[in-house]
């Protein structure tokens, strides 16, 4: 398998080169030369396979022989002591992606990436420096995933004052090989600084740099796993009971109407910001997972819904909302979207919708009242986006699954006034004991260059 820049498909690189360099030399994003399908045996068994087995079969297709099967099995086992329950809530399903250590979907990509990097760099003596921009959850997941990994240091850039106190503790509360920079600007400014650093020849001579945002293909590929696992489960007519970290105020009965009908593909409603998560879903669909289509639900930052509606892409300044991890006006992964699929193809697979803060708050309150279930602001955007498009659990005969991208306890300041206090999982209770320590810098590349050494 070769990987090419979204801006130049003439010169390919290996999986390892794409992973460890992160961004292509011309500033583009790496994409696979093709999306490898699951074998027929795997496709027909997704509903009965364990999460780790699906992860192994998914990543193996992209890494081929660069990570031997035995090593890949060890990486998957270490990365995923947790899975992704598919829980019926009201008239639909919630794919709970917050059972990892930082209670957000970013754990799935970050934990795999950290362990894959450690393997791919075995025998290297030059330290690797990871640069990552975050609007909230990515930074915490990357910090946790790479914390204590020998030979790798991480610098996380986040917009000062635009992440929650709990997110800041996750990003800036570890120390050790993890450094945090609070940037006086937006997430788009943080992302611009990271891209600027990768394009700086002097810095690249001084440091071995890589990325851990979804611009890195190694962060994105593992996210296809939970789509395939959930789609296979729904296709088999299965769902899961709530687990310890499921945000339920009291026990509630599984709704028969929400149980998926067997032999029908699923529609996913995806809270969307930088669009790496959605592209990962498209990979799962192209690999053969039983997925009907996707709803790309954004907050006021509706660059991609407008692109789908008009056919014209226009990057914008990001706007601040209560679903802060999705406050992205210039989503990086639009390059992959446009490079890998035509507008007509994308429209067949994806429908876009924008959700206001007012509707997000109303949805959090309404779902808790009706089902005793807590939504975080991002998951609420996905839920309301599906409602707006009048998609129900029996749309075209298939199930509707909303991605639960973060645990509501991470957003207590927003959720509690609307639905009361959400139960706090053990992973987040430990995080609250940390003291964040971050340097503050202006949104200027020279300031970042001064910090990096």
Give the model's pLDDT for residue 266: 95
Residue 366 lies in a domain: yes
Domain span at 272: 83-104+219-426
Distance CA 447, CA 452 (A): 9
Distance CA 213, CA 225 (A): 17
Contact 246, 87 (CB under 8 A): yes
At 266-309, the pLDDT tens digits run 999 999 988 999 999 999 999 999 999 999 999 999 999 999 99
For residue 377, what is the domain's CATH number?
3.40.50.1100
Residue 204 lies in a domain: no
Residue 236 lies in a domain: yes
Stated as kind and residue range, the H or E segment containing 10 is strand 8-13
Q: Beta strands 178-184 and 400-404: pairing type?
A: unpaired
**pLDDT of 347 above 60:** yes
Q: Which of 9, 10, 60, 106 is catalytic?
A: 106
Residue 287 lies in a domain: yes
Residue 416 lies in a domain: yes
Give the model's pLDDT for residue 164: 85
DSSP state, residue 67: S
Distance CA 195, CA 197 (A): 5
Report yes or no on whether pTM surpasses 0.75: yes
Mean pLDDT computed over every residue of the chain: 91
- Token pair, residue 149, equals 């990994």
Total structural domains within the chain: 1
With cut-offs at 50, 70 and 90, classify the pLDDT of residue 99. Answer: very high
**pLDDT of 250 above 80:** no
Rg for the chain, CA atoms, rounded: 20
With cut-offs at 50, 70 and 90, classify the pLDDT of residue 372. Answer: very high
263 labelled catalytic: no
State the first-to-last Cα distance of the chain, in angstroms, to the nearest integer: 34
What order do you get walking across the sheet with 439-442 strand by strand? 208-211, 128-133, 152-159, 178-184, 439-442
Spell 392-416 as b/e; 16+ CB within 10 A means b. ebbbeebbbbbbbbbbbbbbbebbe
Residue 21 lies in a domain: no
Sign of CA dihedral 390, 85, 139, 7: negative
**pLDDT of 381 above 50:** yes
Q: What is the SS3 assignment for 401?
A: strand
């Amino acid at each position: 398998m070769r990987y090419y820049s979204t801006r130049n498909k003439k010169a390919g690189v290996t999986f390892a080169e794409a992973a460890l360099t992160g961004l292509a030399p011309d500033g583009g994003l790496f994409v696979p030369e093709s999306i490898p399908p699951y074998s027929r045996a795997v496709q027909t068994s997704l509903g009965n396979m364990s999460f780790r087995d699906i992860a192994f079969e998914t990543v193996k297709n992209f890494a081929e022989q660069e990570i031997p099967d035995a090593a890949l099995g060890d990486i998957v086992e270490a990365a995923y002591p947790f899975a992704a329950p598919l829980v019926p809530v009201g008239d639909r399903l919630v794919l709970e992606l917050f059972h990892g250590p930082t209670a957000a979907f970013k754990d799935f990509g970050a934990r795999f990436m950290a362990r894959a990097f450690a393997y791919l760099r075995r025998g290297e003596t030059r330290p690797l420096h990871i640069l990552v921009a975050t609007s909230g959850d990515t930074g915490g997941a990357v910090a946790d995933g790479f914390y204590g990994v020998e030979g790798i240091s991480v610098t996380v850039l986040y917009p000062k004052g635009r992440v929650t106190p709990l997110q800041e503790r996750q990003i800036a509360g570890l120390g050790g090989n993890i450094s945090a920079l609070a940037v006086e600007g937006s997430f788009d400014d943080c992302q611009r600084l990271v891209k600027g650093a990768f394009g700086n020849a002097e810095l690249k001579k001084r440091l071995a740099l890589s990325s851990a945002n979804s611009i890195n293909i190694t962060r994105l590929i593992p996210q296809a796993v939970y789509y395939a696992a959930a789609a296979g489960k729904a296709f088999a007519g299965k769902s899961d009971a709530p687990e310890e970290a499921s945000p339920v105020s009291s026990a509630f009965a599984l709704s028969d109407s929400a149980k998926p009908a067997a032999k029908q593909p699923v529609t996913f409603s995806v809270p969307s910001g930088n669009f790496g998560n959605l592209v990962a879903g498209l990979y799962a669909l192209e690999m053969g997972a039983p997925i009907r289509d996707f709803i790309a639900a954004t907050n006021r930052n509706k660059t991609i819904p407008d692109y789908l509606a008009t056919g014209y892409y226009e990057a914008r300044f990001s706007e601040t909302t209560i679903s802060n991890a999705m406050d992205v006006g210039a989503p990086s992964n639009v390059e992959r979207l446009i490079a890998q699929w035509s507008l007509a193809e994308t429209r067949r697979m994806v429908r876009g919708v924008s959700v206001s803060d007012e509707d997000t708050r109303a949805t959090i309150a309404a779902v808790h009242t009706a089902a005793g279930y807590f939504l975080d602001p991002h998951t609420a955007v996905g839920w309301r986006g599906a409602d707006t498009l009048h998609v129900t659990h029996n749309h075209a005969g298939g199930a509707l699954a909303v991605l639960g991208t973060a645990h509501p306890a991470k957003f207590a300041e927003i959720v509690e006034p609307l639905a009361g206090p959400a139960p706090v999982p053990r992973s987040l209770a430990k995080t609250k004991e940390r003291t964040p320590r971050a340097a503050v810098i202006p949104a200027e590349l020279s300031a970042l260059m001064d910090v990096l050494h």
